[in-house]
Amino acid sequence: MTGPLAYIGGKNRIAKQIIATFPKHTTYVEPFAGGAQVFFHKEPSKVEVLNDLDGDVVNFFRICQRHHDDLVRYLKFVLVSRRWFALLQAENAAALTDMERAARFFYLQKNAFAGLIRNRKYHCAVVESPNFKPGKIPELIKNAHRRLDRAQIESLPYGEILARYDRPGTLFYLDPPYWGRKLYNFNFADEDFVDLAERLKSLQGKFVLSINDVPRIREIFQGFVLREIEISYTSQTKAGKRFRELLIANFKLPAKPGKKAA
């Protein structure tokens, strides 16, 4: 299933390719959940953990998990409107109830160009239908509620998550902020990637990490297993363009069809 959130850097288009690399595991952990598209696309594991430092993300998933019917009712009468978008954008999220905050975040993400978190701009649908379709909201939220039913939702630094949940039967899927970009409320500098690579070297469990494919990332994560995958843009401004994403792992990745294993 597709997750409910539109989110910059989300893995909706490549989730199946990422999941195809996953080994058998008991516990599944996403230290950088974001929109958690891989989580929503995959089959449930015995134990599942979603973590993110962004309070809006965590609050939305908790409301979806515990109060989804109220969230659907709250969103029932909202409009797909530039004016409505501007009004919600101007609100102080800290002054809202958890329910109001979740509804605001969901609406803004669905209507923001490219699912941007920072400097959001209203996505004017010209040749594509808008992402926010009021008639489909109840089913979307209900499906998310069902999928989140047994998930543990955390909001801790990723290092604490690695330490708490690392076991031989744990699989970590890591989707950290893109290298060299400042797209999120919490971004990574070069030294953060160096620290991440060092932490991953000592894991008892297994991990798959996805990141933009740049020379510095290859340098930092040398010694791990690397695999390139291509992504096609589908947005109105970048349709037809392609870029490479890099998968990094600490185990031998299964072979692609017709190719030898990485």
Give yes or no for residue 135 having a pLDDT over 60: yes
pLDDT band for 126, please (50, 70, 90 cuts): very low
d(CA 183, CA 174): 17
Given this model, what pLDDT does residue 9 score? 63
Give yes or no for residue 117 having a pLDDT over 60: no
Instruction: Give, for 230, the enclosing helix (H) or strand (E).
Output: strand 225-232
pLDDT tens-place string over residues 181-205: 666 666 788 999 999 999 999 999 9
Given this model, what pLDDT does residue 83 score? 85
> Domains in the chain, please, with CATH?
15-249 (3.40.50.150)
d(CA 77, CA 251): 49
Return the SS3 of 70.
Answer: helix
Q: How many helices (H) and strands (E) does the chain have?
A: 10, 7
pTM: 0.88
pLDDT band for 7, please (50, 70, 90 cuts): low
Residue 7 has a CB neighbour count (10 Å cut-off) of 24
Given this model, what pLDDT does residue 184 score? 63
Query: Nearest-CA neighbor of 231 among 4, 19, 10, 3?
Result: 10
Give yes or no for residue 242 having a pLDDT over 90: no
Given this model, what pLDDT does residue 258 score? 44
pLDDT tens-place string over residues 199-233: 999 999 999 999 999 999 999 999 999 999 988 65
Give yes or no for residue 172 having a pLDDT over 70: yes
Q: CB-based burial of residue 39 (10 Å sphere; 0-12 exposed, 13-18 middle, 19+ buried)?
A: buried
Q: Which two tokens stand for residue 17?
A: 């390719």
d(CA 216, CA 234): 27
In contact, 246 and 213? CB cutoff 8 Å:
yes
